[in-house]
Amino acid sequence: MRAGELKQRIEIQTNTPTQDSEGELIDSWVATHSDVAAKVTSKAVEEADESGAVRSREGFVIVIRYQPGLTTDQRVVYLTMPLTIEAILHDRGQQKRMELICSQVAV
């Protein structure tokens, strides 16, 4: 990975469920890695639903320096947009970089 390649900034968050005033558990996302240098690339992703209809949505490939302990239970925030981490790819031997395959969080 060359210097200057990671020009964008992301935040990695972990879900820490908390109880609301009525005792219900609600999702509460807490930043665990802030201001992470990244290269964010947008890609169109096509999916077929149950009826076989194909629809497109925006996906992202995010390259970062190796972060030990990162899992798909966490999420990324990029430009105030929360993204679900669907897969994590990394060079196991080198442990220098990771690719996060992400999609927009369904609202």
pLDDT digits (tens, 9 = 90+) for 2-22: 668 899 999 999 999 998 888
Q: What is the pLDDT of residue 3?
A: 63
Angle, CA 85 vertex, CA 79 and CA 91 arms, to 5°: 110
Least confident of 26-30, 53-57, 82-86, 101-105: 53-57
Q: Report how far residue 18's alpha carbon sits from residue 26's, in angstroms, rounded to the nearest whole number.
A: 6
Residue 59, H or E segment: strand 54-65
Residue 23 has pLDDT above 80, yes or no: yes
Q: What is the pLDDT of residue 91?
A: 79
Q: Is the dihedral of CA 4, 87, 81, 19 positive or negative?
A: negative
**pTM for the predicted model, two decimal places:** 0.82
With contact defined as beta carbons under 8 Å apart, do 37 and 43 qualify? no
